[in-house]
């Protein structure tokens, strides 16, 4: 672990310039010690201070280079304090480094602090913090430059990138503050273009994304987080409601052919960005429609399938071919794909339900569903799934919630969710649980199934045991423990286990492809490149990570497409500067939950219109309606534009 020579990060000063040892871990700094394979990180300078790992680092040259990049590359110039303040800092630091500085330059630097407090956003304001730290803690170095006693000693190279707490928390790293500001200014087409730079299915992610970005929204430290997810929907809805045609045009053909397995979020995303680069892309999909789990695992009242199909049609319009009803390992082998295409992307999802581990579940009893995802899929595709009057769903995630809500829409009179923890520990989105309650779903918390109750080979009930919460487990949630002797039976006609899904990688069994798998039966990729051990075969989404979220699959698909493009055009697989800095920031962390914002709150979150009441459980009409654009503008005005700039010095 690298030793910290000096750190002012987070306003906590660690100074070992005169001796002493402090490693990064001891002060909770998760800074990468090397940059790709190009050298060691000697320093990091950014929005909350300076971190030095090398005693030879020239802090004055570091600060001058940082502010030059802030002013010339990242300052939006939309406000005078930011534009003028960063220019004052850049010019003063440049004079000092060039040997033309004077003592009054240090005074000028220090005087800019109050000017930057009035910036339009936080980019320029936070970028000044490490410069002030440098002048405060390394004043003798600045004076040495001014007195002509020191010459610049620059690093081998510097790498910079702009980020924001919300951008960092988003697996697709969308430029959230920009697209929200464009909505605020009613530039919906530009907002949608910004979103599509990072994800091609905004209608989907504007509806069913679990919005991890909002957990990094600084507005929440004042009142409530900005409704970031819904803002994507606003931009997307504007396009299709106004019958506009997407403007994207692919680059000239490269002559390279790529096959994508799976038309889910990861596959569609990968195909989209590869097509834009001019590659010929074909998607093969085992279902008869696009969307993967989104299409058959998320009900239409949350994600209308006509809009999902529109997203796929937009991607097809770029020249992507989608062939439905083709299953890898059954209709075509991976070996054949390797032989016929220049690269392969596996986005096969996670359609294999996890077993409950209860007595009788493997006996094929009438009334026992293979799993939540299978139940939802059968209903969505009209495959003759008959839902009886009394249904029990086991689980606490979004799939379990979807199952109990769909069961009501399919005619169940009693739809009961059994979960072994309390509501507070449910991984499902809280608003989805609220919706289920409004629709009269019944909940049995702190209960765990122990065996199926069967008569004449048909499920008639489930024996459950009461649970109590003990100490936290590895997930941080309190571990449920059985209460001895507390078993009882809940009558039912059908049991649907919905406790998770695994990837089905049976298509790898027909040959030795050399593709490593984890003990969780997912595909191993390497170094953030999304490539497997088999050269030219890439993977992403649920089959690579396990069943997760739509936006994570989108992030995987975009990263894979970027790396695959390099592989196809250069014959090399590597991460570029943007990839590396994304990963570095993500590991380091951008959001500070203890930050004091210093502004008044009270501007509460706007909510989109919604169909209320239990009557909505009688149909599949979309529950959450389009947010009026005037309301979206008010919500967008709550964004604080929390941009930050970070830069590493590499030697």
Distance CA 447, CA 433 (A): 17
Strand arrangement of the beta sheet that strand 494-497 belongs to: 442-445, 414-419, 390-394, 494-497
pLDDT of residue 1: 66
Q: Which of 527, 558, 574 is a domain's end point? A: 574
Same domain assignment for residues 378 and 479: yes
Average pLDDT, the chain: 95
Q: Are residues 161 and 193 in the same domain?
A: no
| Same domain (yes/no): 102, 161 | yes
Give me the phi and psi of 488, to 5 degrees please: -155, 170
Instruction: Tell me if 73 is assigned to some domain.
Output: yes
Q: Summarize pLDDT for 262-281 with one digit per residue, the tens.
A: 999 999 999 999 999 999 99
Query: Both 373 and 408 in a single domain?
Result: yes
Q: What is the DSSP letter of 359?
A: B
Answer whether residue 238 is part of any domain.
Answer: yes
pLDDT of 154: 92
What value does the mean pLDDT take over residues 14-26?
A: 92
One domain for residues 105 and 156:
yes
Is residue 649 over pLDDT 70? Answer: yes
Whether 128 has a pLDDT exceeding 90, the answer reads yes
**1 is a domain residue:** no
> Is 427 exposed, middle or buried (CB count within 10 Å of its CB: 0-12, 13-18, 19+)?
middle
What is the span of the domain harbouring residue 236?
Answer: 167-246+606-636
- CATH code assigned at 318: 3.50.50.60
Residues 75 and 155 in one domain: yes
- Both 14 and 146 in one domain: the answer is yes
Which band of pLDDT confidence, cut at 50, 70 and 90, is reported for residue 120? Answer: confident
The torsion angle over the Cα atoms of residues 12, 18, 23 and 28, rounded to 10 degrees, is 0
The predicted pLDDT at position 208 comes to: 95
At 391, is the pLDDT very low, low, confident or very high (cuts 50, 70, 90)? Answer: very high
Statement to judge: residues 395 and 544 lie in one domain:
no
DSSP secondary structure letter of residue 332? B
Find out whether 338 and 536 touch, Cβ atoms under 8 Å.
yes
Average pLDDT over residues 425-454: 95
Q: Which of 469, 499, 529 marks a domain boundary? A: 499
Contact 285, 276 (CB under 8 A): no
Q: Are residues 284 and 382 in the same domain?
A: no
pTM, rounded to two decimals: 0.94
Residue 207: pLDDT over 80: yes
Q: What is the domain-level CATH number for residue 183?
A: 1.10.1060.10
Domain CATH code at residue 126? 1.20.1440.230
- Four-CA torsion 612, 615, 618, 623, nearest 10 degrees: -10
Q: Please say which residue of 529, 553, 574 terminates a domain.
A: 574
Residue at 595 is within a domain? no
| 84 and 153 in a common domain | yes
Give mean pLDDT, residues 464-480: 87
Tell me the average pLDDT across 15-36.
93
Q: Indicate whether 493 belongs to any domain.
A: yes
Query: Is residue 324 included in any domain, yes or no?
Result: yes
Q: What is the mean pLDDT of residues 447-463?
A: 96
3-state secondary structure 1-14: CCECCEECHHHCCE
My answer on whether 51 and 111 are in the same domain is: yes
Both structure tokens of 143 = 């004076």
Residue 476 has pLDDT above 80, yes or no: no
Asked whether residue 377 falls in the same domain as residue 419, the answer is yes
pLDDT for 84 beyond 80? yes
pLDDT above 80 for 517:
yes
Q: Kindly report, residue by residue over 289-317, the tens digit of the pLDDT.
A: 999 999 999 999 999 999 999 999 999 99
User: pLDDT tens-digit profile of 219-254?
Assistant: 999 999 999 999 999 999 999 999 999 999 999 999
Residue 410 three-state SS:
coil
Residue at 374 is within a domain: yes
Q: Summarize the confidence of residues 438-445 as an average pLDDT.
A: 96
Q: Does a structural domain hold residue 233? A: yes
pLDDT in tens, 556-590: 999 999 999 999 999 999 999 999 999 999 999 99
Question: How many domains does the chain fold into?
Answer: 4
pLDDT (tens digit per residue) in 188-202:
999 999 999 999 999
99/231 Cα distance (integer angstroms): 49
């Amino acid at each position: 672990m690298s030793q910290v020579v000096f750190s002012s990060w987070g306003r906590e000063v660690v100074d070992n310039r005169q001796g002493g040892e402090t490693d990064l871990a001891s002060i909770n700094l998760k800074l990468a010690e090397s940059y790709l394979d190009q050298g060691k990180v000697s320093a990091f300078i950014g929005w909350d201070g300076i971190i030095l790992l090398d005693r030879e680092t020239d802090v004055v040259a570091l600060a001058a280079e940082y502010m030059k990049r802030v002013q010339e590359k990242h300052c939006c110039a939309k406000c005078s304090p930011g534009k003028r303040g960063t220019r004052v800092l850049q010019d003063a630091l440049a004079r000092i480094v060039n040997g033309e500085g004077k003592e009054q330059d240090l005074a000028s630097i220090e005087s800019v602090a109050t000017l930057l407090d009035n910036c339009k956003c936080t980019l320029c304001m936070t970028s000044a913090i490490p410069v002030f730290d440098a002048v405060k803690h390394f004043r003798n170095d600045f004076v040495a430059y001014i007195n002509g006693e020191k010459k610049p000693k620059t690093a081998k190279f510097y790498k910079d990138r702009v980020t924001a707490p919300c951008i960092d928390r988003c697996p697709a790293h969308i430029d959230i503050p920009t697209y929200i500001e464009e909505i605020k200014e009613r530039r919906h087409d530009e907002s949608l273009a910004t979103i599509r730079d990072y994800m091609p299915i905004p209608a989907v992610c504007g509806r069913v994304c679990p919005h991890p970005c909002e957990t990094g929204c600084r507005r929440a430290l004042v009142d409530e987080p900005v409704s970031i997810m819904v803002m994507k929907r606003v931009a997307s809805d504007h396009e299709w409601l106004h019958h506009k045609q997407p403007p994207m045009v692919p680059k000239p053909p490269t002559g390279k052919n790529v096959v994508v397995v799976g038309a889910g979020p990861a596959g569609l995303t990968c195909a989209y960005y590869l097509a834009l680069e001019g590659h010929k892309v074909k998607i093969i999909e085992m279902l008869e429609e696009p969307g993967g789990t989104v299409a058959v695992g998320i009900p239409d009242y949350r994600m209308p399938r006509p809009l999902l199909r529109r997203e796929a049609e937009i991607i097809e319009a770029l020249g992507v071919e989608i062939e439905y009803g083709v299953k890898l390992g059954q209709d075509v082998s991976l070996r054949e794909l390797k032989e016929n295409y220049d690269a392969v992307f596996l986005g096969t999802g996670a359609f294999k339900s996890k077993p409950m581990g209860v007595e009788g579940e493997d006996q094929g009893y009438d009334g026992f569903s293979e799993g939540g995802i299978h139940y939802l899929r059968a209903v969505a595709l009209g495959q003759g799934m008959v839902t009886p009057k009394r249904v029990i769903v086991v689980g606490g995630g979004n799939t379990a919630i979807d199952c109990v809500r769909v069961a009501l829409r399919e005619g169940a009179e009693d739809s009961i969710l059994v979960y072994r923890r309390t509501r507070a520990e449910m991984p499902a989105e809280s608003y989805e649980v609220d919706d289920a309650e409004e629709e009269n779903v019944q909940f049995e918390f702190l209960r765990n199934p122990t065996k199926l109750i069967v008569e004449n080979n048909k499920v008639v009930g489930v024996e459950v045991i009461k649970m109590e919460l003990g100490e936290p487990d590895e997930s941080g949630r309190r571990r449920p423990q059985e209460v001895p002797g507390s078993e009882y039976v809940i009558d039912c006609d059908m049991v649907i286990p919905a406790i998770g899904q695994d990837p089905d990688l049976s298509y790898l069994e027909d040959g030795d492809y050399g593709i490593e798998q984890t003990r969780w039966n997912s595909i191993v990729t390497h170094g953030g490149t999304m490539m497997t051990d088999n050269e030219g075969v890439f993977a992403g989404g649920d089959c690579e990570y396990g069943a997760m979220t739509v936006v994570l699959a989108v992030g995987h698909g975009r990263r894979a497409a970027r790396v695959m493009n390099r592989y196809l055009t250069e014959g090399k697989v590597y991460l570029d500067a943007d990839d590396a800095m994304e990963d570095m920031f993500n590991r380091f962390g951008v959001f500070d939950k203890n930050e004091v914002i210093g502004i008044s709150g009270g501007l509460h979150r706007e909510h989109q219109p919604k169909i209320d009441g239990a009557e909505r459980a009688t149909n599949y009409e979309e529950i959450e309606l389009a947010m009026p654009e005037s309301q979206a503008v008010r919500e967008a005005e709550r964004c604080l534009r929390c941009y930050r700039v970070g830069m590493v010095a590499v030697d």
